[in-house]
Homo-oligomer: A and B are copies of this chain.
Amino acid sequence: MRGRIYIKTADPSAAVQCTIRIFGISSVSPAKLTTSDLTDITKTALEIAENTLGNGNSFAVRCHRVGEQPYTSLGVCREIGSQIQSKLEKKKLSVNLTKPDHTLSVEIRDEQAFVYAETFHGQGGFPLGAQAKTVCLLSGGIDSPVACWMVMKRGSPTVPIYVDNNPYTDERAQQKAVETAKKLKEWTAGTPNKIYIIPNGENIRLIQEKAPEKFACLLCKRLMYRIAERVAEKEKAFGIVTGEAIGEQASQTIANLLAIDEAATRFPIHRPLLGFDKTETEAIARKIGTFQISTKKAQGCTAAPCQPATRAKLQAVKDAEKNLNMDEMAQKAVEAAQLLQF
């Protein structure tokens, strides 16, 4: 009703814990329901005040009204305020309308009234499904699950893709990607419930064999985008999400982002972490529960060069691709994909 969802529950604290994780919910207030009769409202407010306000605390009363009642909002605040001060005299409470320790809120809607003293911040964003679908390149590292979560938070269901560079990485990297995908599922009622595992080892071998070493990561990224585009088409998705942040890795400098972005011609690449520092990304990773998984030990990619290009020219990168049939490599990898459901 008008930007509010009411949940009747015998276990308010469990309901809070559950609802503050739901995307699209801005805040949650466990409230007591009563009639819009001023005596009832005041009685309920007194009960809540007794349980909430500590000795010496300051408080404020706020009131919103919808409908016709025989009193004003200000009248409600004054009545409750004076009743609290007289009935709870022992607590030596004071009224503070600008920065109170506690705020008692009364929301009156026609015949009903909701009284509450606590508000918990939710995740904000939009309900999952409010936006069209995306695919997300999950690497097993710290950043990509955070990027995925942020796009989910803004309403887009995402389908994770793990590009498996085995034997240049090991099994543990894949396990981490799968585990983070499962952890992301805990934030929703059911998605993501699958992850594409795309074998890419043979492609890496070809890149190593046929392209300048310094471009290895850039070509690998361009290949991943092409793979993601094919999965996005298959999934009828509308964009590709990555965990890239400006300057976070050699392949993610502003200059190199130009050189790799060009490979994704059919879908936009969404990089919600672009402007983040690592510490900011890590803070979200901790909050959403993926940090512990992402920081487990795994073999880093052994195909990464010691001296990667940090300011690659697009034309040089495209020239380096000429000995490789990147489209075919992407196509073959996607055809060999394993779809893991959970």
Partner-B contacts on A (CB < 8 A): 124-126, 130-134, 147, 150-151, 153-156, 238-239, 245-247, 253-255, 257-258, 261-262, 266-275, 277, 279-280, 311
Interface of A is mostly: loop
Contact indicator A270/B257 (Cβ below 8 Å): yes
Closest B residue, CB atoms, query A258: B238
Min CB–CB distance A103 → chain B (angstroms) = 19
Contact indicator A258/B268 (Cβ below 8 Å): yes
Contacts A267-B258, A268-B257 known; A247 to B277 CB distance under 8 Å?
A: no
A156, B246: Cα distance in complex, Å:
9
Contacts A132-B253, A132-B311, A270-B257 known; A150 to B275 CB distance under 8 Å?
A: yes
A238, B313: Cα distance in complex, Å:
10
Closest B residue, CB atoms, query A270: B274
Contact indicator B239/A258 (Cβ below 8 Å): yes
26 A-B pairs within 8 Å (CB atoms) are namely A124-B279, A130-B247, A131-B246, A132-B253, A132-B255, A151-B246, A151-B274, A153-B275, A154-B245, A154-B246, A154-B275, A155-B247, A155-B254, A238-B254, A238-B258, A239-B254, A239-B258, A246-B270, A258-B268, A261-B267, A261-B268, A270-B271, A270-B274, A271-B271, A271-B272, A271-B274
Closest B residue, CB atoms, query A311: B132
Min CB–CB distance A276 → chain B (angstroms) = 8
